[in-house]
Amino acid sequence: MAARGSRGVAIAAVLATGVDGARIARKKGASMQTESSQDCYSPFDKKALLTLNACSDAQETVSKLEKFGCYILDEPRVYQMGCTEAEVVCDEGAAELEKEGVAQIVTADAGAFWRGSSGVTHAFSEGLGVASDFYSDWRDLESQYARMRAAVEASGGAARLEVAGQSLQGRDMYIVRFRGEGYTDGGPRLVLTFNLHGREWITGMAGIYAVEKMVEKLKEDPSYLAGTEVVMMPMANPDGYLFSTTTNRMHRKNMANVSCSRNPGVDLNRNFDSHWASGGSSSNTCSDVYHGPSAMSEVESQVIAGVMKEAPMTVYIDTHSYTQLVISSPGWSKTRDNRHAEFRNIGRSIQQAIKSSHGLTFTEGPTAATLYVAAGITIDYATDRGALGICLELRPPRYGGGGFAPSNREILPASEETFAGILASIDYAKDPSSVPPAPAPTPAPWWFR
């Protein structure tokens, strides 16, 4: 997620361009590109990556960054979090910005740095199986879809693959439906979406993993979802994801043809009809948090909303990255939701389940109060329709973990943590009283206070 961008938004566009139609050129099985090839990191080659120091005047900092053609990777860390640790990529002036105390240089070549530390997506042709290494590396869109189809085909009828609609560019938006015996409308129902933002690759991988593991769980215990429905959309932004894998690794939005050709698209997680355009987004088409010309203007938003509205929801989970959070409605306001106690109960149960997986304690709390204000988001839209709207912000941590381009070593543990949290949310939806009382909330890290 990200927030505010109504000022200095030209920054968000400088490096958002790539080479149209750029494609990865590699030998079979190779993990790196040849020096002459173009890939999703090419727009950032020979450009400095910096982290901002804390600032007391965000606009003054933005003005300095604009001077050197810098691109802010996550705008809210500047406007709502006082610049602290926000990452920027700059065409020039890195040494001067560091000298002035504005930022610290991470590397002089962001493209090479991310290419080496995170890597690109690769095709995968092996089948399902315990020896499979699908989650050892980033997978391209078709490989993810093939893996999803294979899992459903192997489910023995426990899962059903459906096309919920098409993206703007005509790609199928799939859902996997798990419907327990005895489920009827009005019973416990969970809807989950992944990879709403193109660059958040780790979330799409976690979505495919969740489909696989749910199939396995239902094979072991066919009664687990009795009276309950779970609907997963492992890839909610196929166009944006594909663009991020081929042309611009940091592309966030969908691929809507807006007036800013350098940074096309609308931020789908600011486009929903819940306090739309009332905070934490921008009307500037070049902003990474451009909310669109109107609420629900984007076809992807409409498809997701259609899935939500098929039947009453108990829980809705939207999976994002990064910073290791379990956050809930409201995002549009720092005031408490009238179901605050319920949100804390399910949030802490998810938090504990994630911790039981690999020992990490995610920060838990309401979105606006814990992170930053963001209006027009999916979880508030779901909450308006009776669900408990939850957002999971997966690995890596905020500091030093790779940000939107983490190491591929994070894929499997992040997926395992996510699935543990999903199971906790299902258990809560089926019977809130069966969830043990949660411990006292973990104090928020100092940077959220």
Catalytic site residues?
393
Q: Where are the alpha helices (DSSP H) in 359-409?
A: 367-370, 378-384
392 touches 317 (CB < 8 A)? yes
Give the position of tokens 């560091």: 98
Look up residue 237 and give its amino acid: N
Q: Where are the alpha helices (DSSP H) in 4-102?
A: 58-67, 76-79, 94-99
> CA dist 330 to 65, 337, 340, 346, 392, Å?
32, 6, 9, 15, 14
Phi-psi category of 87—alpha, beta or left, where left has phi over 0 and alpha has psi -120 to 50? beta
H and E: helices and strands count for the chain: 12, 12
CA terminus-to-terminus distance, the chain: 19
- Lookup: tokens for 416: 């395992």
234 touches 204 (CB < 8 A)? yes
d(CA 144, CA 386): 31
In the DSSP assignment, the letter for residue 194 is E
- Lookup: tokens for 172: 């199928």
Look up residue 69 and give its amino acid: G
d(CA 53, CA 58): 11
The pairing of strands 189-194 and 315-321 is parallel
Look up residue 280 and give its amino acid: G
User: SS3 breakdown of the chain: % helix, strand, coil, rounded to 5?
Assistant: 35, 15, 50
* Secondary structure E strands in 354-430: 363-366, 388-394
3-state secondary structure of 24: coil
367 touches 328 (CB < 8 A)? yes
- Lookup: tokens for 108: 């002089």
Burial 355-375 (b: 16+ CB within 10 A, else e): bebeeeebbbbbbbbbbbbbb
d(CA 69, CA 61): 13
